[in-house]
Structure 1
Amino acid sequence: MPKSRGRAKRTSTPPPELGPKPVAVSPTWWAPVMVGLMLIGLLWVVIFYITAEQYPIPALGRWNLGIGFALMLAGFGMTTRWR
């Protein structure tokens, strides 16, 4: 039986040496905006309850809660990207 020819082996090259990755730093405005959104959302909800649903925007009614929680969630969402 005839013998098949073998494949030519490729020479392996080692991967390039990688140095330590530079640490990404958040912009200086990131943390104040993050904390500000969480505090504004909290104040929005607290004012809504303290004033017996009259403020901050009376025409929105209970949607004021949604606005307050959306502001807080936006702030908490920013915490996941903070470096």
Structure 2
Amino acid sequence: MAGSKTRSKAPRSPEGSASDTPNPVWFKPVMFGFMLLGLVWIIVFYISQGALPVPAFGAWNILVGFGIAFIGFLMTTRWR
């Protein structure tokens, strides 16, 4: 019985290899900046007893602070 011929397969590049380029220089400072700005926003709100950073927002200042920090945390998913 004749043996079957084996085909040589082309080497496969790992998925996402084209997007494995490093981040720009500004990416990490902006990412940490958003996280720190959100934290500072919430701390200022509590220390000033709601008078700062935006008095018209009232308790929504907490959500704004968490939203800013969340943007920074979302940026960590793209950090290489």
Q: What is the root-mean-square deviation of aligned Cα atoms in Å?
A: 2.0
Runs of 5+ consecutive residues of structure 2 not aligned to the other structure: none
- Determine the structure 2 residue equivalent to 1:16: 10
Q: Distance in 2 between matches of 1:72 and 1:56?
A: 15
Q: Distance in 2 between matches of 1:13 and 1:61?
A: 69
- Determine the structure 2 residue equivalent to 1:65: 62
Under a length normalisation based on structure 1, what TM-score does the superposition of the two structures give? 0.77
Runs of 5+ consecutive residues of structure 1 not aligned to the other structure: 1-10
Shift of 1:17: 2.1
- Determine the structure 2 residue equivalent to 1:55: 52
Under a length normalisation based on structure 2, what TM-score does the superposition of the two structures give? 0.79
- Determine the structure 1 residue equivalent to 2:73: 76
Shift of 1:32: 0.5
Per-residue CA deviations over 1:35-70 (Å, capped at 9, x if unaligned) read 000000000000000000110000010110011000
More helix by share: 2
SS in 1 for 2:78: coil
